[in-house]
Amino acid sequence: MVLTKTALQHDFHVPTDNIRLHVPMVEAIDDSYITATTLATCQETCLCVEQFQSYYGSKTDWKKSRLYILNSPSPPPNRVIMLTVNSYCPFDPTINYIAEVDVISDHLTFLHTPIDNPKKQFLTLRDLINNFQFPSLICRLPFTALSRILSQTLISKIRPRLLFQPLMQPDAEKLDKLIATKIHSYLRFPFPPSSSLLTLPLAQFSFDFPSIALINIEATITGATDLPSQANDAVDKHATQTQKYLVRPPTAPLPTFYMDDFVLYYLRAGFIEWPV
């Protein structure tokens, strides 16, 4: 079910807060999620999807498929049997095939990004940085070329992952230090690496390399659990709540004494008691 954050907090103040969207399926590129509240419903839905896509020559790759069980009252099994079909007779009820899929219960993975698991996301990005290598050329590349290569080949993969699942800020700073170590190792600098020196802007006499810590701050500006983000969220909440209390000003000032029919009025001074 999809609903607004204010509706989840029972703070209704706009019509969209009353909308509830039931999502049977989520799909993006090659990743698809089929949602269900019971295992039997999930198996039946997957079987219907298999029958439908068999007419187009498509077939589920069960080796890459996973079953995510969240908020289960009892410990889930390690593997679950799913029903599939024969591509030649997809609607024959007497011909059923089975496929075993692994069960994951601690997090979701969507578009190769662990959801609601910052630690696993940190380990994934750390491995991505460790496996990254600069081009091997006759001469070493300058800073500008290294910055462009990092932005186009490494940061372009890390940024969308952080938008899906931000990191804890200390972990994001560790990734910046890891990139700084890789740059210093490539340039063979004798002094210790400094991520702050690399990521500061050119106006501050630095090298303006992309910073994972800054990207992570942008991704966690709302919805995070750290103190600055919670303060920002509280300010936004109080600002939206003021829309519910509409106090209209009086149409005209209420006089507490007798005035003539025509009295001078100045915005900064108010009514001027002088006969006209």
- Give yes or no: residues 155 and 101 share one domain: no
Domain count, the chain: 2
pLDDT value at residue 90:
62
Which whole-number Å values give the CA distances from 81 to 77, 87, 99, in the listed order? 10, 19, 6
- Give yes or no: residues 119 and 214 share one domain: yes
Q: Give me the chain's average pLDDT, please.
A: 77
- Give yes or no: residues 51 and 68 share one domain: yes
Share of the chain above pLDDT 90, in %: 2
User: CA-CA distance, 23 to 8, in Å (whole number)?
Assistant: 17
Q: Which of 88, 108, 128 is the last residue of a domain?
A: 108
Asked whether the CA dihedral 144, 147, 153, 159 is positive or negative, the reply is negative
Q: Which of 224, 244, 260 is the last residue of a domain?
A: 224
pLDDT value at residue 232:
66
- Give yes or no: residues 117 and 214 share one domain: yes
Q: Which of 56, 85, 108 is the last residue of a domain?
A: 108
Query: Would you say residue 232 lies in a domain?
Result: no
Spatial CB neighbours of 64, under 8 Å, sequence gap ≥ 6: none
Given a cut of 70, whether residue 26 has pLDDT beyond it is yes
pLDDT value at residue 227:
63
Predicted TM-score (pTM) above 0.75: no
**Bridge partners of 82?**
99
Query: Would you say residue 219 lies in a domain?
Result: yes
Given a cut of 80, whether residue 29 has pLDDT beyond it is no
Query: Would you say residue 90 lies in a domain?
Result: yes
| Domain extent at residue 208 | 113-224
* DSSP class per residue in the chain: -B--HHHHTT---SGGGG--B--SEEEETTEEEE--SSHHHHHHHHHHHHHHHHTTT----TTT-EEE--S-SSPPPSEEEEEE-BTTBTT-TT--EEEEEEEE-S-EEETTEEES-HHHHHHHHHHHHHT------SS---HHHHHHHIIIIIIHHHHHHHHHS---HHHHHHHHHHHHHHHHHHHT-SSPP-HHHHHS-GGGTS-----HHHHHHHHTSSS--SHHHHHHHHHHHHHHHGGG---PPPSS---SS---SS-EEETTTEEE----
- Give yes or no: residues 102 and 184 share one domain: no
User: CA-CA distance, 84 to 154, in Å (whole number)?
Assistant: 39
Q: Which residue has the higher pLDDT, 203 or 211?
A: 211
